[in-house]
Structure 1
Amino acid sequence: MRIAVTGSIATDHLMVFPGRFADQLIPDQLAHVSLSFLVDALEVRRGGVAANIAFGLGSLGLEPLLVGAVGSDFAEYEVWLKEHGVDTGAVHVSTERQTARFTCVTDQDANQIASFYAGAMQEARDIDLWHLTGGQSRPDLVLIGPNDPAAMLRHTEECRDLGLAFAADPSQQLARLEGSEVRDLVCGARWLFTNEYESALLLERAGWERGDVLERVGTWITTLGGEGVRIEAANQPPVKVPAVPDAHVADPTGVGDAFRAGFLAAAGDGLPLESAARLGCVLASLALDTVGSQSYSVDAAQLLATATRAYGAEAAAELAPLLERTP
């Protein structure tokens, strides 16, 4: 399956707070929060949702097409992505702005407070998808990841006009989107990806009930952190896939992106959705064990061993043919 991944490409600045955010919040003062956290560590890593997902897909042996906007400081990052199987031919390079920056503080309970500077990502709205449809370059699926909101809306509408299947992953941008924009991004998606909090926020922003969403998408995939994943489709009972048990937590940043890469790789290979979710969870556990969204290395034997331990030999055997094709 040829997958085009649109969305943010960024540099991550990851910090660790040794306490708990919750202990610093005074309930009757939440309208006047003014806090500064003294952090113990700083890691500067490659990131951005689209780049993270493309990295995961490339590491699994696919050749995803990355679509996004970056600054002139992207050259070294681009080499890294190409070395991991990512096609960067559709990346727009700004002459005026730097690549986006993601700044995140994680506490000892793995809660996170983050901010995002868009930088060159603001120019993603100028990218069109029409040039992706010629010959063998035409993607089988376009993932619409968190990006400049105007770019997300444009890419979604272009997918409809071009007859391209698309996946909706509004993620962090739900906080910036109006209800009508959320509805436009979701309607007609083959896959809808959210985490549990985002699923509630999506319903609130769109003014929908859960059934309203399921009537408008093919399948809704909701990640539940340590509880695993919920898979929902209209007129079908929900399916829950547990997370890999006892996974070591080094850094939760980008874990959801790794899940999406694993899920899409398996679903695109024709595997059942439950199997796709298992591969997503296995790849997520690998990302969770490293600091940085693209610090993990894919090893087929290790992934199969993890899948066997978490889900049993029969479930792992379903994933074996796909993993045996990894670089």
Structure 2
Amino acid sequence: MTVLVVGDVIDDIVVRPLRPTAPDTDTPSAITAGPGGSGANQAAWLGALGARVRFAGRVGAADAAAHTAALAAAGVDARLAADPGAPTGRIVVLARGGRRDMYTDRGANLNLSAADLPDDLLDGVTLLHVSGYSLFQPGVRAAAGDLMRRARERGAATSVDPASAAFLADAGPEAFRAWARGARLIFPNLDEGRLLTGAREPSAVAAALLDDHPVVALKLGAEGALVAARDGTRLALPSAPAEVVDPTGAGDAFCAGFLAGWAAGRPLEDCARGAVAAAGRAVAAVGARPRKES
């Protein structure tokens, strides 16, 4: 029962100001660097949660060994293409309280191609999860979309996380819904869900997305989550109690927590509880990847 994740690999720099920003001069801050990228984060969380997981992405050639090792340490079978010309993607995350702003240079991720996604990636795979970042650029979208088609032909389920409200707005909600249609599960946050559907209330957002996807897991941040399914299931769960240190990667952890349960054949309620628990772990530590629990 292997989950295959396709998406971005990023070098994260997380900046946490230690006092209000002083314009045009210095603001004392805590700055942490580490591996990130929505798809790679989801794979790392899946591995840390005990799922069998494979990951495909693209990085700068100089960083391929380091990123492969970082993912392997989390239990991920990483298949990274080494880009000879473009650098690994980079993000500067400005984290303040429960919010964060991200300044993104996707680098080598924009060059992911069909050659990086061969058929043997799908061997033994029961679920293919695609980060929405892989659907926003035409070339990458064509490669990821073809892999989704091949996965379904083999009988594997597919799932999608819209990933970025800003990029989703640029691409257009109707276009994204067309690209994602056919996925069995979708994992938007509330902002993304509102963009995709035009609805405002979480229950209305979830109901609208059920037209395209049998299962909707709507991330509501501090308010928890709403999970809906075409069989009539409606689950509203509170967020896990946690002191918010850094929200980076919380949505990725949520997605992985849900999919870990799904891949193991657990009921939707167990999947949802695993999702909010993983998100709670993520916000309580700096950085987007899982840390070993003491």
- Where in structure 2 are the equivalents of 1:122-141 lying within 5 Å? 122-127=110-115, 129-132=117-120, 137-141=123-127
Q: Distance between the aligned counterparts of 2:168 and 2:293, measured in 1?
A: 31
Which residue identity is paired with 1:70?
V
The answer to whether the aligner puts 1:267 opposite 2:262 as a matched pair is: yes
Q: Which residue matches 1:78?
A: 68
C-alpha deviation, 1:4, in angstroms: 0.6
**Counterpart residue identity of residue 262, structure 1:** G
Which residue, 160, 170, 187 being the options, matches 2:162?
170
CA gap of 1:152–1:35, structure 2 versus 1, over 3 A, is farther
Q: Is the 8 A contact 1:248 1:289 kept in 2?
A: yes
Question: For 1:75, what is the secondary structure of its paired residue?
Answer: helix
Are residues 54 and 161 of structure 1, via their aligned partners in 2, closer, same or farther at CA, if it must alter by over 3 Å? closer
* Deviates further, 138-147 or 11-20: 11-20
Q: Deviations 1:117-149 (Å, cap 9, x if unpaired)?
A: 011001113446451366xx2411111103342
Q: Which residue matches 1:194? A: 188
Q: 2:223 aligns with which of 199, 222, 227?
A: 227
CA distance, structure 1, for counterparts of residue 7 and residue 26 of structure 2: 29
Q: Deviations over 1:205-245 (max 9, x none)?
A: 9xx97644212101111111121110112362531011112
How far apart, CA to CA, are the structure 1 residues paired with 2:226 and 2:25? 36
Q: Which residue of 2 aligns with 1:318?
A: none
Q: Is the CA contact (8 Å cut-off) linking 1:132 and 1:139 kept in structure 2? A: no
Contact persistence 1:241–1:274 (CA under 8 A): no
Contact preservation (8 Å) 2:185, 2:216: yes
Name the CA distance, whole Å, in 2 between partners of 1:240 and 1:201.
Answer: 21
State the alpha-carbon separation in 2 of the partners of residues 13 and 92 from structure 1.
22
- 2:286 corresponds in structure 1 to 291
Equivalent in the alignment of 1:142: 128
Identity of paired residues, percent? 28
Q: What amino acid maps onto 1:196 in structure 2?
A: L
Are the structure 2 counterparts of residues 122 and 280 from structure 1 closer, same or farther at C-alpha, using a change threshold of 3 Å?
A: same
- The residue type paired with residue 244 of structure 1 is A
Please tell me whether Structure 1 or Structure 2 has the larger radius of gyration of its CA atoms: 1
For residues 35-68 of structure 1, the C-alpha deviation after alignment (integer angstroms, 9 at most, x for no partner) is 9994512111110111111111111222311111
CA displacement 1:74-106 (0-9 Å, x = unmatched): 3222112112211113x2110001110011111
Structure 2 counterpart of 1:97, from 72, 86, 90: 86
Aligned-pair distance for 1:17?
A: 3.1
Moved over 6 A (4+): 34-37
C-alpha separation in 2, matches of 1:198 and 1:185: 15
**Residue 277 of structure 1: CA displacement?**
1.1
2:105 to 109, 117, 127: 117
Which residue does the alignment assign to 2:7?
Answer: 7
TM-score normalised according to structure 1 size: 0.78
Unaligned runs of 5+ in 1: 25-33, 300-327
Shift of 1:298: 4.7
Letter in structure 1 aligned against 2:71: L
The two structures have a TM-score, normalised by structure 2, of 0.86
**Higher-strand-fraction structure:** 2
Residues 254 and 287 of structure 1 are in contact (CA less than 8 Å); yes or no, is this contact kept in structure 2? yes
Which structure 2 segments of 5+ residues have no match? Answer: none
SS in 2 for 1:244: coil
When you count helix as a share of all residues, which structure comes out higher? Answer: 1
Matched, 1:87 2:81: no
| Alpha carbons of structure 1 residues 220 and 4: separation in structure 2 relative to 1, 3 Å | same
Distance 1:37 1:125 in 2: 42
Cα separation, 2, equivalents of 1:295 and 1:234: 32
Deviations 1:266-308 (A, max 9, x none): 1111111111111111122112111111252157xxxxxxxxx
Q: How many positions carry a matched residue from both structures? A: 281
CA RMSD of aligned residues (A): 2.7
